[in-house]
Structure 1
Amino acid sequence: MEYMESTPAPGENIAVLRKARGLAQAKLARTAGISVSYLSKIEVGTRPVTPPVVAALARAMRVPTQRIYGQPFLGPSEQADLLNDLRSTVRRYTLPREDVPAPGQLAADVAKAMRLRADTNYLELLGMLPTLLGQVTATALSSASGEAGAWTQVVDVYGCAYAAAHRLAQPDLADMIVSRQAWAARQTWNPDAEVAAAWNEAGTYQSAGQYDDGLAIVERAVIQYERASGSSSPTRAVCLGSLHLRGVVLASREKDERATADHLSKARLYAEGIPHDVLRHNLTFGQENTALYELAAHVELGNPHKAAEMAGPLLERPPTTLTPNRLGRMYIDMARARLDVKDYAGTEEALDKAFLAAPQMAGVHPMVREVIRVLFVLHQRARPKLMEMAGRTGLTT
């Protein structure tokens, strides 16, 4: 098995873009707010490029973040065909071609799509989304069934579509989906659905590295929901707690320790009454998921030792109520933390668990590819398990 890139690494893309703009490493590093040494290591592949650094470098070179990440390995062309089918359906969002199905069958199919999203089964999800989106939209637009509940189903299915587009690095499609989801949410008169749409809208800013704008979306959504929702309830806790968890990610990537602590503190308060995580409108919330966001925040804020310390007990006794997409992300964050503290065996262990928990997510996640790439450069390539994982991400053939 040989080491072969299916696409240029982010570090390579950075070097090409920098040279094309006539920028010396020192000038780009200064503009992006990082050290020259760090930039040099990113370009040669001995340090992983993190989302906040990608955002800073993209701003400095006036390119979208996707230009740096490039196109991830997607496997068979079938995935591209499925994405094109989804794109076509989203484009004609007010012109569904599907008939209105029986209510029971539609509800079962929506529940299945949400389960596939939580299980990170993106291929099967993509296969059913175009038809399902058309069906839920046709149902909501029909004069007999266009009530709030029908529109809430549209919001939930668009949430599944966003997850697939985001994870498969299709930012233009993800942006279009979010606008459609917001349109559907406005028809629901359901503040919970509005939160689900706002969560994903903030996510598009997160993907683009515009963390301050994403925080503004979160703060606006919190205020609007507090005005529209009733008294304390589990559903209210899930909605507001989930918004604050999104705020934790955005604030930590913005390197705003105070805002991170504030959002984390509020999320913990809402999680107190939800010991076992629940999933509603594609939002996962509870004490266990809140702990995972705290771990990720330590990584983003440059405290990998704290994150690695949290990771130990979680690896020994993984949360039992979390869905595969949350468990997969937990192991990815653990791998990044362990890499930062130079625990290479522990890094490989966490990556292996990510593939076991959420194989399709791990196979295309940019941070997984970056961590594996660094392990390769650091002469870990002789390890059989690492070689196997590299093959599953498209880094080797």
Structure 2
Amino acid sequence: MKVTTARVYGDPFADPSKQHELMGDLRTVVRRHTLPREDVPPPDELAASLKRAAEFRADTDYLKLLQLLPKLLGQVTATAMESDGDAVAWGNVADVYSCAYACAHRFRQPDLADMIVSRQQWAAQQTWNPEAAAAAAWNEAGTYQSAGEYSDGLAIIERAIVRYEKTPGDDLERVVHLGSLHLRGIVLASRHEDANATADHVRRAKALAERVTGPDVLQHNLTFGQGNTALYELAAQIELNHPDKAAEVAAPLLKTPPPGLKPSRVGRLAIDAARARLATKDLTGAEDALKYAFHVAPQMAEIHPMAREVLRVLWTLHQCSRPELLAMAKQSGLAS
């Protein structure tokens, strides 16, 4: 019947698209995770491809990322399999699966996202690599978050934190990974409407963020620092029914986004600002924030369910009088 799982779960696109074709290619290579068809590439070529994948993910350029991933997954896996258990090589495999997870998650293919997380965990477990294991747990908890199973997601995060804290080390990489686990905890706890757990994760994330001097740091597809911590705290205020506080915090952040944040994070800031402003009846402000999200991270904004919900409400209220809303609605598939 050629009905994709994305359509079953509510794909925002009405017709088959390039994304679906590329996602099919990704699904094939994920299924063949121990049987890569690609040869081991030259180290410089592989390093360049890994860098591009991370950049495409951070820039929310999902189409280019989907075009790159099938071949890259095969190459990075073939390299790791011939590395005699090298932790860096297997860590690269885990990182590429993290990029793949972002695509499956954004395009609403939860079954593929679950399979990708299992592959990421498989790669992380091939050698001693606590950072890769922590990053895999971050995405595993994300699958529970997407399913609305927030208490289970919190259990995954708490277990990952306990395990990671038992490993040696006290460098910046450790701060980024441990802090990122707490950021995921903030989302899950706030959506679970557990104010105490939310506050605890916020407190611990802030303490770790103070150790990041300068701009936020991006490592292994995880962004951490004082800026991203502020963004997660802002989003938590919305989930805990304090949109007025969230809107107040969002204003200066939108005017001057924290240094070090890539479009994936600045776009999400704008989406959350739009949500907060809509909840406080600031319709003009909500539209302005949404336009900024479409400007800085268009591929994310057009498919993100929260951005689409804000857009749907604004479009319903003002569809005849707001040409820029019409343009965003068409881009998102909400209008023809």
The answer as to whether partners of 2:6 and 2:108 remain within 8 angstroms in 1 is: no
Residues 151-198 of structure 1: CA deviation (Å, up to 9, x unaligned): 011000000000111011111110000000000000131111111101
Where does residue 162 of structure 1 map in the other structure?
101
CA contact (8 A) 1:238 1:286 kept: yes
Question: Which among 85, 94, 98 is matched to residue 34 of structure 2?
Answer: 94
Determine the structure 1 residue equivalent to 2:56: 116
The structure with the larger Rg is: 1
**Which of 264, 276, 281 is equivalent to 1:325?**
264
What is the aligned residue count? 331
Residues 113-133 of structure 1: CA deviation (Å, up to 9, x unaligned): 011000000000000100000
Query: CA–CA distance in 1 between the matches of 2:253 and 2:19?
Result: 33
Name the counterpart of 2:285: 346
Distance 1:288 1:319 in 2: 5
Q: Tell me the secondary structure at the aligned position of residue 139 of structure 2.
A: helix
Please name the residue that 2:330 is paired with: 391
Give the conservation status (yes or no) of the 8 Å contact 1:252–1:260: yes
Of stretches 81-90 and 318-327 in structure 1, the one that deviates more from structure 2 is 318-327
Q: Secondary structure at the match of 2:11?
A: coil
Task: Say whether the 8 Å CA contact 1:328–1:358 is kept in structure 2.
Answer: yes
Q: Which runs of 5+ in 2 are unaligned?
A: none
- Cα distance between partner residues in 1 of 2:320 and 2:305: 19
The runs of at least 4 aligned residues of structure 1 exceeding 4 Å deviation read: 64-67
Which of residues 57, 75, 82 is equivalent to 1:135?
75
1:65 is displaced (CA, Å) by 12
Does residue 79 (structure 1) correspond to residue 16 (structure 2)? The answer is: no
Alpha-carbon spacing, 1:127–1:297, altered in 2? closer, same or farther (3 Å): same
Amino acid at match of 1:294: E
Q: Give the 3-state SS of the residue equivalent to 2:218 in structure 1.
A: strand
Q: 2:177 aligned with 1:239, yes or no?
A: yes
Contact 1:244–1:266 (CA under 8 A) maintained in structure 2: yes
Give the Cα separation in 2 of the matches to 1:177 and 1:128: 16
Per the TM alignment, residue 273 of structure 1 is displaced from its structure 2 partner at its CA by 1.4
- Note the C-alpha offset of 1:312: 1.3
SS of the equivalent of 1:95 reads: coil
Q: Alignment partner for residue 201 of structure 2, among 263, 269, 281?
A: 263
The aligned counterpart of 1:379 is 318
TM-score normalised to structure 2 length: 0.95
Structure 1 residue 181 and structure 2 residue 181: aligned? no
CA deviation after TM superposition for structure 1 residue 263, in Å: 0.2
Which residue pairs with 1:290 in the alignment?
229
Cα deviations across residues 210-255 of structure 1 (Å, max 9, x unaligned)? 000100110011011111132x221111111100000000000000
Percent identity of paired positions between Structure 1 and Structure 2? 63
Q: CA RMSD in A?
A: 1.6
- The 1-side partners of 2:215 and 2:234 are apart by 18
Greater RCO, 1 or 2 (C-alpha within 8 Å, sep 6+):
1
| Contact 1:251–1:260 (8 Å) recurs in 2 | yes
Please state if 1:249 is matched with 2:187: yes
Cα displacement string for residues 269-292 of structure 1 (whole angstroms, at most 9, x for unaligned residues): 000011410001100000000000
Aligned to 1:209: 148
| SS of 1:314 mapped into structure 2 | helix
